[in-house]
Chains A and B, each alone.
Chain A
Amino acid sequence: MSDIKRVDARNSFCPGPLMELIAAMKLAEIGDQLEVLSTDKGSANDIPEWINKVGHEIVECREEDGVYYIHVRKTK
């Protein structure tokens, strides 16, 4: 897990988990993996929607104790 960059967006209303991920993606290299932590249940839908629309890759999406862990890979 050490090579996965964690984006801890728990309790973030503004700018929110997806905006945090977009910002982190801009700093990442192609092939990098990032894991977003979110307490917003909407993240389970809107982050995969954006990832798929841009063409990046969803590696895993799971929920534990009210926290969503969304693991993605930058592909372009």
Chain B
Amino acid sequence: MKKIVIVGGGTGGTILANNLARRLSAELRSGEVRVTVLSASDKHMYQPGLLYVAFGRMSSQELYQDQASLLEPGIVFHVDPVKTFNLDNKQVETESGVSHDYDYLVICTGSRPNPESVPGLAEHANHVYTVEAAEKTLTALQQFEGGRVAIVTGVPHKCPMVPLELTFMMHDYFKDRGILDKVEFFYTYPIGRLHSLENVAKWAQTEFDRLGILYETLFNVKQVDGKNKQVHSEEGGVVDYDLLITVPPHNGMPVILENALGGGGWIPTNPNTLQMEGHENVFVLGDTTNIPISKAGSTAHYEAEALGENLAALVKLGTMVRTYDGKVFCFIEAGKDRATYASFDYQHPPQPQPPTQMIHWFKLAYNKLYWNSVRGLL
């Protein structure tokens, strides 16, 4: 029997498991293959929905479904996260003490926000990367009566469109509340333009100038002085705020660090085969890789599809049949009722189009369709 163990039940792990269950359905039924998913939770969260929770447009309850309900029949699922990776022995051990042998291991444990890594940031800034934080941000936005809103972004971070989306959505939110004339936006960004993607940055700059949003680039948050309501940057900049919004820096999960699989919790990964460096039977998906690519559900989705095809081929043919080409597709909310998107891969930069209401509605539809997507039906 070939044993495939998937560590992590997020977007990448779930799509991969379902992809494999379909490609290897006969082998699963005959007992030639076993696909096991080990997760830390019995719930699956639609993380992009957190942005909408912060604006009162989705409830936190809408973000969750039972993980078991999302998996194809035949997949073995345990809520029992891995504690120890014994890669030399092709074995993982869970927190409950159960050992799982494998022929192929996939690590997709994801990332976590780490605002605590910047002095003052966790105490004084609002963000949208946990349910608690998104609901706290909603309260802060509702209670804000005017002043300067500063947006600061840590490195690295999950979902690269969020700094822009938060800014545009706050603009329209305060406009709807009738206090836009009392609000000044000050957007900062770590590199020398308004977004990583050059074409998105050009589009955003035009929009910011049109909307009167102020900005400073080459601004990496060093510390927050809550007493004086100031943010200090590594580059020596100082920005005043009345309301501080952050896209916090992220790390990989502690179990990756505790097992010394990669600095920062990011595992060195081949960008085309998704194999962990030095381990040809270990693969890495999504945020957990150190690949220089967006940490986003879309990335995990496209990677999982490529890896599903390759793992099935390894089982059936003993060889991989394709490479991951760096494909990513990200929606970009440009306010409360307009959106655009960025689609790119390793060789082709995105060419964002002007925002439209239709793309916004498609994004809202995708917020529901995700549950079909993660089942592998879309």
Contact = CB atoms under 8 A, between A and B. Distances in A.
B120 interface: no
B292 A15 contact: yes
A23 interface: yes
A11 to B, nearest CB: 4
B235 A19 contact: no
Interface in B207-249: 218, 220, 234-236, 249
Interface residues of B, number: 29
Q: Interface on chain B toward A: helix, strand, loop, or mixed SS? A: loop
A14 B264 contact: no
A12 B293 contact: yes
Contacts of B263: 27
A45 B292 CA distance: 19
A4 interface: no
Contact of A18 (B192, B197, B264, B344): B192
Given A14-B196, A54-B235, A27 B264 contact: yes
Q: Interface on chain A toward B: helix, strand, loop, or mixed SS? A: helix
Interface residues of A, number: 23
Contact of B218 (A11, A16, A42, A53): A53
Interface in A40-54: 42, 46, 49-50, 53-54
Interface string A39-71: 000100010011001100000000000000000
B155 A11 contact: no
Interface of B: 155-156, 160, 190-192, 196-198, 218, 220, 234-236, 249, 263-264, 271, 292-294, 326, 328, 342, 344, 346-347, 349-350
